[in-house]
Amino acid sequence: MDNELYKKGMEIRRSVLGDEHVDKAEANKTEFDADFQEYITNNAWGAVWSRPGLTKRERSLITIALLAASGHEEELAMHIRATKNTGASKEDVMEVLLHTAVYAGVPVANGAIKIAKEIFEY
């Protein structure tokens, strides 16, 4: 394990998803998924989310669009909740989901909007 990459990844992961979420994931980690948890911390958070080319807000919005488009509802909900830590507003999320409707389809955007409404309590 690259300890520096993992450390950087965990720092970014906590700043985006929040300590409560990460602490719960770490507490629920088992021998079965320990390698996977290390992988996402190193690669998604340490190698990609920490890059200087995009802000956390921009990465957050891109992630929301991709998760909505691919129908990954549980991960989508997690990243919509994380907007409170990334600087993305409710209006930003709505714009991304409208854009997603054009390029990925109305049904996926409709499902994503339903999830966002529940999270934003509309």
In tens, the pLDDT along 48-102 reads 999 999 999 999 999 999 999 999 999 999 999 999 999 999 999 999 999 999 9
What is the average per-residue pLDDT within 29-41?
A: 96
Q: What percent of the chain has pLDDT over 70?
A: 98
Residue whose token pair is 């979420």: 21
Look up residue 96 and give its two tokens.
């991304």
Dihedral angle of Cα 70, 73, 78, 81, to the nearest 10 degrees: 100
Question: What confidence score (pLDDT) does residue 122 get?
Answer: 79
Entry pTM: 0.93
Neighbours of 92 (CB within 10 A): 17
pLDDT band of residue 109 (cuts 50, 70, 90) is very high
Domains contained in the chain, CATH given? 1-51 (no CATH), 55-122 (1.20.1290.10)
**Could you please report the per-residue DSSP string of 30-74?**
-TTTHHHHHHHIIIIIIIIIT-TTS-HHHHHHHHHHHHHHHT-HH
pLDDT for position 54: 98
Cα–Cα distance measured from residue 33 to residue 41, given in angstroms and rounded to the nearest whole number: 12
